[in-house]
Amino acid sequence: MYKKKFGKLVIISLMAAALTVTPVFAAPTVNELQQKKAEEQNKVSSLQAELTELLTKMSDLEADLIEKGTEVTQATADLEDAQKKEEKQYEDMKLRIKYMYEEGNTTFVEKLLTADSISELLNQADFVQSVHSYDRKMLQEYVDTKQQIADLKATLETEMANMEQMQDDYEGEKQNLNATIETHRANVADFDVQLQAAVQAAAEAAAQREAELQASVNEITGGQNNGNTGGQSGNVGGSGQNNNGNTSVTPPQGGSGDTTGGVEQTPSVPEIPQQPEQPQQPQQPVTPPVGDTSVGQAIVNVAYGYLGIPYVWGGTTTAGFDCSGMVQAAHAAVGIGLPRVSEAQGACGQAVGSMAEALPGDIVCYGYHVGIYIGGGQMIHAPEPGDVVKVSSVYGSPWFRRCW
């Protein structure tokens, strides 16, 4: 009887050990998924830091382009002024030559011939020479100045072209970074799904093994287990009264002291791996309270008046606008002051949740570019050099700011 009972206990113990050990094989799968998810999250963080640095470079480059554009505009104005001065000096010189050498009240030759003395004659000649020297000197200065300004303008325009190419390169790099970040974010989300599935599968498997073990225990004990399979509590090595009134002897155990339920007690269910944390969703900006919409509409009306004005880097007047210069001027026209560069304008005022919540007069922001929202998914903006202020559809994934 003892051997038979001991054999049952051995079988139950082996099954309990299998129940305890089996989840260990599932744990590495969950841990591996968690490790891969952490790696992807680290990649996203690293790429976001790289993107932040790139956006800073783009902002600095925009400020440099604005400054360089202002210099080009000034050089263009200086060149036009130098050209006018050169032309005027040339015309004045021709008039003096004509006065001295061509017919007039008295020709210059007659003045020389009618001189009362040699001294007067030399004075007349010296005067002629000084006039010629002055004219030649002034004309040469104007020519040299004009050439210097032309060379400066050419240099500035070359520098601007290089900076604009750099801006295009930055934009391409930004798009690649954004695409890579989105890929890694999708991987993180996929690992979350896999983790949830792995944890759920582990829990179901554990429950299934527990049920199988309990069924085996019931089968071995003849269905007489009432939750205390090993008999009533007693000292180790002692005896307990079973449900049929027979005395069953528990196998000897090392050590001494009381046990709870004897060796045939059903093992506890293994601990279920903790559910993975859900990725934190970015907070959406809250649409600010709507103020006086007539102010926003006034900004739009001013912007409509800028249509057709050419794009000019550093431009802040109707002679030419860059994107942030146009947005700044439209707000200034209704008494609202804005920062100069587009990045700063993209952080001013209050955040608007989405284009669906945007109102006419809000600023459409791309970080490196801005425009004025006019409603219906459209905006007024100064797109790029060689273009003009115009109405376009809102493209990409901008954010919106309200400064009225």
Residue 119, both tokens: 């001294």
Given a contact cutoff of 8 angstroms between Cβ atoms, the answer to whether 58 and 368 are in contact is yes
Q: Count CB neighbours of 371 within 10 A.
A: 28
Burial class (CB in 10 A: 0-12, 13-18, 19+), 72: buried
CA–CA dist 136, 148 (Å, integer): 18
Tell me 388's DSSP state: B
CA–CA dist 215, 353 (Å, integer): 58
The Cβ-side half-sphere exposure at 89, using a 13 Å CA radius, reads 20
Of the residues 184, 323, 331, 365, only one is catalytic, namely 323
Of the residues 184, 331, 365, 369, only one is catalytic, namely 369
Burial class (CB in 10 A: 0-12, 13-18, 19+), 191: buried
Known catalytic membership, residue 331:
no
Known catalytic membership, residue 381:
yes
DSSP letters spanning 221-232: TTT--SS-TT-S
Q: Whose CA is closest to 49, among 186, 180, 188, 167? A: 180
CA–CA dist 115, 25 (Å, integer): 124
Of the residues 184, 331, 365, 381, only one is catalytic, namely 381
Known catalytic membership, residue 365:
no
Residue 116, both tokens: 């009362």
CA–CA dist 101, 250 (Å, integer): 143
For CA atoms 13, 14, 19, 25, give the dihedral sign: positive
The residues annotated as belonging to the active site are 323, 369, 381
